[in-house]
Amino acid sequence: MPIIKAYVMPHPPLAVPEVGRGKERGIAATLAAMEQVAGEVAEVKPDTIIFITPHGTMYGDYFHISPGEKARGDFARFGTDGVQVDAVYDTAMAEEISRLAGERDVPAGIQGEGDPSLDHGVTVPMYYINKKLRDYKTVRISQSGLDPAAHYRMGQILAAAAENLGRKVIVIASGDLSHKLADDGPYGYTPEGAVFDREVMAVLGAGDFPALMEMDSKLREKAAECGYGSFVMLAGCFDGVGVRAAQMSYEGPFGVGYGVVSFAPAEAAQGFVHTPLDPYRALAKQSLEYGLKTGCLMPLPQNLPPEMLSRRAGAFVSIHKNGQLRGCIGTIAPTTENIGSEIIQNAVSAGLQDTRFPPVDASELPFLAYKVDILEAPEEIDHAGDLDVKQYGVIVESGRKRGLLLPNLDGIDTVAQQIEIARQKAGISPSEAISLKRFKVVRYE
């Protein structure tokens, strides 16, 4: 049985009235959304709820799953002794997750627990759920210091374990957003805090998991967030499944961002359905996967849009992983019979023959994002004033040397930068005379 539903939930201790002592009224929208989540969970009546937390036993290179049959947590460190939360662990599910992780070479298991008591990443969401449902078992798994791809794979394992055991499972991805939204917040203020919250809520609310995987790691660090790993693990739970997502609330009045988002398989709930890749990127993806599997170029599919079968054009295929470039190869002018064949050829080259990177391994395929640029015919120009870094790419030539730079690239803000980088790519020194061409692209990303 697949994952029935999943939720992103924050974990502010002040959301518990005995801790907040009235201050919780400042996050009324968050509390209402958490009450709604609890009601929806109670309607589903899951066998097991998996809590993914950033505040449990955490290792840099290992996903820790809490062992044993039960655990208890309280809010004593937050100033109250009167509230306790109890969990009964699903030991069979924990064992199955550990077994699958071993099979798939993902470092995870029940060894090495520090404090066995429930952390507030679990107790706060559980406090609300337990008000409406008690008869369920729990798995508690911590984030790790491993990269987003590993967290995604861990999510795939959670879904596989639920399927193997026939459990009705709900996943709670516990995590706050930026902790730097205000000067009087816990970590002060930085403008990147609001940027991160805006971006992560947009991609989560759209169910756009590829964009989630592509988020800038430097932005996440500057925002001082704690939930990203939980969110990526949740995304892995829906690998290969159409998902409906709905933002339930967002606010950050105390300098910390709190977001609540719901997710369900496409047929199970109302909301946004993430759209599939366009034909250009889909072909690039299929081409690289086929090339890795067979060692050959994929035959040209005949069900492509007419333009891809009848028109010739140069094409660049760029591959990214975890927001970082993983390979890019392209052709300035067409070298094959049509755009479709151009993409097939360049996608395989970008993944396997870009000498700046090692060849893509099959284990990386689920975590790759693709961009395809279709080039219009270049035109000669007389001077740099005819360029625009956002609108035009540039080709710089000197004798047999030729360098190209695509338009509208991050970090390239001036025509002078654009020309200089194209010179460097071609090995053209500043003293050599050059001629210029410009071109437009149609970009699929």
81-103 mean pLDDT: 95
Q: Does the structure show a pLDDT above 70 at 106?
A: yes
- Residue matched to tokens 């693990």: 233
pLDDT range class, residue 258, cuts 50, 70, 90: very high
Q: Is the dihedral of CA 324, 329, 331, 334 positive or negative?
A: negative
Q: What is the C-alpha separation between 199 and 186, in angstroms, rounded?
A: 21
92-116 mean pLDDT: 94
- Phi-psi domain of 373 (left: phi exceeds 0; alpha: psi -120 through 50; beta: other): beta
Share of the chain above pLDDT 90, in %: 77
Closest CA to 177 of 73, 54, 57, 19: 54
- How does strand 393-398 pair with strand 401-405? antiparallel
Model pLDDT, residue 52: 98
Structure tokens at 376: 């219009």
Closest CA to 6 of 157, 204, 200: 204
- Residue matched to tokens 């055991």: 165
Model pLDDT, residue 267: 60
Structure tokens at 397: 């030539």
294-318 as b/e, with b when 16 or more CB fall inside 10 Å? eeeebebeeebeeebbeeebbbbbb
